[in-house]
């Protein structure tokens, strides 16, 4: 937002709850947003105005998971706005079609051994095969609800029953990747192009999660050859579907997630690598809108 404002663009803000269908139009009760230099009060909002979404150059949806019914309702309203001529990024239909966990199954040859199930017996069989596994819910973020079960199988049934709410919720189970010690790499795709630096989110202490929200240490690194090949393969495919901004998660050269709702790490990569991700984003956006 700061870079866009410095380039002369005008910013507006609203929450999902402020998007309405009214008088045959998708509108937002929104406010002007001005970024300020002060770190204590870094933005200023104007008075509330009602504007149709199609009146903006572009609309970004930056809502964190969980991907619940209200999230879906917002994407359906945004799809209606697209039909009326609004430019929405990421495309709401593409966001609906890409579960951040399940979308990796489209690229099965790039992912670690993976199981998706609600059945405890299937998880137990998977554990018998791979011995060291990670279990996670399909709608979590920031490392929330991620458990590792080692070769002793300690608490496996209890974890599955709790996370899966006794079979009511689907879980993803993957072979544990020891390369997580070198970081869970976030690789950004913007406008079909690959940012040449990742942010390795490195677990600290006895933690297995590298997520920054879980206390991981973020270290910017140039992409490895394997990471670049995976990113260059997926970038044009996902961009063609309307996924302008994507955050791939890679561990040890394996694809583990495709983040399309609110990918982050712009600031950390820019500060540590001197590659200005925000400028890269803005140029790609201006090209998209030209």
**Catalytic annotation, residues:** 101, 136, 186, 201, 209, 249, 257, 259
Among 79, 90, 57, 10, residue whose Cα is nearest residue 290: 57
Among 270, 187, 164, 201, residue whose Cα is nearest residue 233: 187
Separation of alpha carbons 127 and 19, rounded Å = 45
CB atoms within 10 A of CB 124: 13
CB atoms within 10 A of CB 187: 26
CB 95 within 8 A of CB 261: yes
Task: Report phi then psi at 47, rounded to 5.
Answer: -75, 160
Separation of alpha carbons 106 and 166, rounded Å = 28
Among 227, 257, 6, 272, residue whose Cα is nearest residue 139: 257
Among 130, 135, 189, residue whose Cα is nearest residue 158: 135
Separation of alpha carbons 11 and 20, rounded Å = 19
Question: Taking the chain, what is the end-to-end CA distance rounded to the nearest angstrom?
Answer: 19
What is the DSSP secondary structure assignment for residue 84, as one 8-state letter?
T
């Amino acid at each position: 937002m700061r870079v866009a404002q410095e380039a002369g663009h005008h910013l507006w803000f609203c929450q999902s709850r402020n998007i309405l269908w009214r008088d045959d139009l998708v509108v937002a009760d929104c406010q002007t947003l001005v970024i300020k230099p002060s770190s204590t009060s870094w933005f200023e909002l104007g008075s509330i105005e009602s504007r149709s979404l199609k009146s903006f150059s572009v609309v970004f949806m930056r809502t964190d998971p969980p991907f619940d019914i209200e999230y879906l309702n917002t994407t359906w309203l945004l799809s209606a706005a697209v039909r009326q001529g609004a430019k929405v990024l990421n495309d709401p239909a593409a966001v609906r079609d890409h579960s951040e966990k399940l979308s990796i199954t489209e690229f099965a040859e790039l992912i670690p051994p993976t199981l998706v199930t609600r059945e405890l017996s299937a998880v137990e069989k998977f554990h018998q095969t791979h011995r060291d596994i990670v279990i996670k819910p399909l709608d979590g973020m920031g490392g929330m609800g991620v458990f590792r079960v080692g070769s002793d199988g300690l608490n496996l049934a209890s974890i599955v029953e709790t996370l899966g709410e006794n079979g009511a919720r689907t879980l993803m189970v993957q072979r544990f990747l020891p390369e997580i010690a070198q970081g869970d790499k976030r690789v950004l795709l913007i406008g079909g192009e690959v940012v040449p630096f990742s942010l390795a989110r490195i677990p600290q202490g006895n933690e297995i999660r590298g997520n920054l929200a879980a206390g991981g240490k973020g270290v910017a690194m140039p992409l490895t050859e394997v990471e670049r090949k995976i990113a260059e393969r997926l970038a044009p495919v996902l961009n063609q579907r309307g996924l302008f901004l994507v955050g791939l998660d890679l561990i040890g050269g394996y694809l583990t997630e495709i983040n399309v709702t609110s990918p982050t790490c712009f600031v950390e990569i820019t500060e540590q690598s001197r590659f200005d991700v925000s400028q890269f984003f803005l140029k790609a956006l201006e090209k998209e809108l030209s």
